[in-house]
Structure 1
């Protein structure tokens, strides 16, 4: 793993030798082991160590040069600083980045969370057992073509020439299963599930197996549905994928680049139903992938994006915050250009008027489990989407798998058409979210 203090010393001595007064460095190192299996036999076993470091150097004119390296010894850091110094002559003079004003603020609960890695044979045996049980669950399940079990240790750090020095290390274990059915006279059907935890001992392998089994069996007997307007119930995973696809709504960099569904005047305006509240909460207790600082060294925190339907906040880097007279929010990713991204969404409702609908009582509603083709079916700048999905037609608790259908609409209209945000939330890798009910969405079926 990376030794941050040694890198800081390398950078300090090399910068002095090169006549560099202002610089910062962000980097990460990943130790990963992963396995895949096929019909009870190991299919692929991989082990890797990957390091990536971004170096920025400011010259006397205030413009910035950026370079990257994977060579973390003294010579590698020196060459990266020298290259970035040369590149600074060609840096943009229009709104150049600067250090985050919060890069030296103290961070609470910044302890490492490293779990001892399990042996590779244990990973293989665990995944083979899961695959075997899935294949035994139903005669129609003929394969598990996509599967994987991995564990990794990630260390991140940030340092700059003004004395900021941050680092953290985390361990993760992830299992993924995707099933495939084959029955004569029927289309192949499939389902997937993924679980993440701090280590293999706490990884919910049984929960992953149960989820993918139940979903697969529920999709075997399917039927077509007529096209029309339906009340749609989005699963937590499906709703979060929509939020992510249209995250330019609250991304300050997108707004400044005029690549957003909102603008500089949107703060304080209604963008969704009063039933919806949304936060980006990197430090949420259920966020296994919690990060305590961003690529600029800014501490992460809970950011209120939408409150009772009102756009209340944006995600900022130090640069966008300065241009918009705000504060950095800990959402910056540094590179050739500083970008802004989310961490971990939390969807909920504060409204006392939020009704509680129940799938056991609903009639002729569609429950969407997973949206497909998000890369092709979303126009993030226009706000439109047309997406195939996996889901069920629900009538008083009875779920009937839908053969093939597409849901389409306008994202801002969808947000304002929310009629229920259920009270019971589910933890997913991308956030915490309950099921969300939306009225009158167009579905193209039979």
Structure 2
């Protein structure tokens, strides 16, 4: 396994695409271990035979279709009516919209790109410091990873054989807390920089009601998914199919804004997204087999228990390692590579796999905001024409808010487990 890791890191350092670096390094394991070369082909094929994985392309298609229905504009109007009167109102609108839109985009990178284009010009016009504006857009984009149906939650649940329905529910409270903490950091920074209000007065009850009703189909989307999964109306893959039908009905019948051209664009974007993810999934099969063959989870557990047997301490050590890994690699890649290795470790340590999953996904997605290769960071820095150093300095309170969230979900597991335990409680108990 050491050879696999070294070759992988060398190939990545040489600039090889991540998917091929994973595939080549994984294949070398079978050569080094003198195993049958039919196994890599079988393992790669097996990766695609998991029925639950159908949920990934279906949810991505549903999100792309919903993005073409005008829901984004309606959600922004609703968020503005709720929070636009605050100082740095655009920052608050960004955070609240990201929470409400998690079920629509399911992608932190997509969220950052979209909000940067929509809100960026207005932020510059209102003299937001460029590093702070980049930090607001970037940190708010992470909210979408916690709100169902986040792609990271589906990948973790599928690969780790953990209930996707419970993961969807478990992400809601951390997502809401993240939204509030980011809004607190935005408000504190706004007072220090004397940033203007987006609008002079609070939205009237009539305006809030009107914009809320206009956005109701986006707000109902994750609720319907959770209820359907909880009561067995559909499986995760069937929920994905329902999501696509839901998006098309909303676009064609309710808002009547989705055209043949927009639908083709949604399909094109979905093909790009799914192609990348599925190639990674297929080529990561060799890694999973190598981890099991070399008993890597058991070895990691022995090392960790040599340091401490306290589950919280073990969780904290793993989080530090994930934060470092997230600084150098994309979160999707790390979820694919590490889930099958770390879920058994968590279970052996007595950590709830639902709790561990939320902590793991949250920690890895923070890597999207960290140098040197955080994709969301690079996107927002480029959009606001600033540099990484300025971005880090002017976003310090946003970083403190995200750090507080990580500490909270690690040391107060109830922030993650309370809602799943409540909703999935057996009848009569």
TM superposition score category, shorter chain reference: under 0.3
Larger proportion of helix: 2
Larger radius of gyration between Structure 1 and Structure 2: 1
Bigger RCO of structures 1 and 2 (CA < 8 A, at least 6 apart):
2
Q: Normalization by structure 2: what TM-score?
A: 0.28
Q: Normalization by structure 1: what TM-score?
A: 0.27
